Amino acid sequence: MSDFIWSGSAADDSTSPKQIFAWLVRHPPVFTLILIILVSVVIGAISPEFWQISNIFDMARASVVTGMFGLGFLVILAAGGIDMSFTAIAGLMMYWITITVAAYAPWLPMPIILIVAAVGGMILGIGNGLLVHYLNAPAMIVTIGTQYVIRGFLLTFIGTELFVNVPAPIEAFGKYELWRVETDTGSITILPAYVLVLVVAALVTWWILKRTLMGRAIFAVGGSSVIAERLGYNLRKVQVFVFAYAGLLAGVAGMLHVASNRLANPFDLAGSELGVIAAVVLGGARITGGSGTVIGTILGVILVTLVNNVLILAGIPSSWQTFVVGCFIILAGTVFAARKTS
C-alpha cells in the first residue's frame, strides 16, 4: 500500500510531516531532486536567464566528466571502499594517449582511442584492487598512495606542459552535435554528442548493480565483508572488479575531458575528487558502503554542477560554491543518517 493515502480520517497521519520525512529517508534520490528543484527555482526567480536552453546545455556538458567519475566512485563505495586516485588515472591516460597519438598515429579513430583509454585505466584500477586486497589496508590510504605514484610518474617520465595540438579525431569528436538550437538573439547553442557516453555508462552501471551477480556481491561486501565471505562471495574478485571498473570509467572520462576542452593539461582534474565524492554522497550513498543508486548519483552530480556553474547568475560569488555544497552535504548527511534507525 502506498505511503501516501489521502483520507479524511483524523486518525490517519500517513501524510504527516513525520511520515513524509520517513519516506524521504527511504528514498534519498527524491531528497536530492527536491534540492535541485529548490536551487533552480531560487536562481530562476533571481535571474530568469537561468532558464535559457544554453544554460541547460552547459550544465549537461559540465556534468559528463564528473558523472563518469561519480559512477566509478559509486561502485567502489557500494563495495565499502574509497578511491582517491581516479583523477590521477584520468590525467595520465588523457595526457599520455593524446601526445602519443599526436606523435605516432594522428589518424587513429576516436573509438579506438577510447578503448585504449578504457583498457589503460582498467589496468591501473586492477592494480589498485590487488593492492587493497593483498595489503589488507584501507582503500583510501592505498589509493592516495597510488595517486601520488601516478602523478609522480607523469611528472618524471611523460611531462607536464600544456598540450594544445590535439589530434583531429579527438577534436572532431568533441565537436559532434547531438542538438543545435538557435536562440532569439541569433546565437547558436549546442548539446555535444559525447553526453551520450555518460548515458551509456549510467545504463551499464545500473545493469551491473541491479541485474548481475556481481552487483549483488558488491552490495553484500559493502554491507559486511566478513558476512559476505561466509556467504561464499569472493572478496578479491569484488575488490578487483570495482577498482577496475572505476579505472575504466576514469580513463574514458580523461579522453572526454580532452575532447571537450580541445587541449590536454595533465593536472586539469587534480583537486576535483571532493566534488565527485560530494555528488555521490548527496545522491544517497552511504560513505560506509552497502548502498547507493545510479539515479541518485546522477542527481547528485547535477546538484553539484548546478551549484558550481549557475550560482553566479544569482549574484553569489564563486567563492561561496564550496560553502553551499558543504551545507547540502551536512543537510543530506543528517537526513540520510536517519536510515540507520528507520
What does the pLDDT look like over 156-187, one tens digit per residue? 888 778 888 899 999 999 999 988 887 766 67
Is residue 291 within 8 A of residue 284, CB to CB? The reply is yes
Quick one: what percent of the chain has pLDDT higher than 90?
A: 59
Q: Which of 342, 339, 341, 340 is nearest to 28 (CA)?
A: 339
- Residues 182-200 have a mean pLDDT of 86
Instruction: For residues 337-341, give the mean pLDDT.
Output: 58
The residue with greater pLDDT, 311 or 136, is 136
| Whether residue 4 has pLDDT greater than 70 | no
* Per-residue CA distances from 34 to 50, 59, 296 (Å): 18, 18, 12
Whole-angstrom distance, CA of residue 299 vs CA of residue 295: 6
Residue 22 phi/psi, 5-degree rounding, is: -65, -40
- From residue 218, how far is each of 27, 184, 233 by CA, in Å? 20, 50, 9
Q: Which residue has the cell 513525520?
A: 18
Mean pLDDT in residue range 177-201: 87
Confidence label for 53 from pLDDT (cuts 50, 70 and 90) = confident
Q: What grid cell was written down for 15?
A: 501524510
User: C-alpha cell of 203?
Assistant: 545504463
Is the pLDDT confidence value at 199 over 60? yes
pLDDT of residue 21: 63
Q: Give 295's pLDDT tier (boundaries 50, 70, 90).
A: very high
d(CA 71, CA 295): 10
Please tell me the pTM assigned to this model.
0.91
Confidence (pLDDT) at 139: 96
How many C-beta atoms surround the C-beta of residue 164 within 10 A? 10
**The total number of residues written for the chain in this structure:** 342
* Highest mean pLDDT: which range of 1-5, 27-31, 231-235, 337-341: 231-235
Q: In the numeric block, which cell numbers belong to residue 63?
A: 556534468
Burial of 26 (0-12, 13-18, 19+ CB in 10 A): exposed
Q: Looking at residues 91-102, what average pLDDT do you find?
A: 95
DSSP single-letter state for residue 180:
E
What is the band of 3 on the pLDDT scale with cuts at 50, 70, 90? very low
pLDDT at 339: 59
CA distance 233 to 221: 8
- pLDDT of 258 over the 90 cut: yes
- Rounded mean pLDDT of 274-282? 91
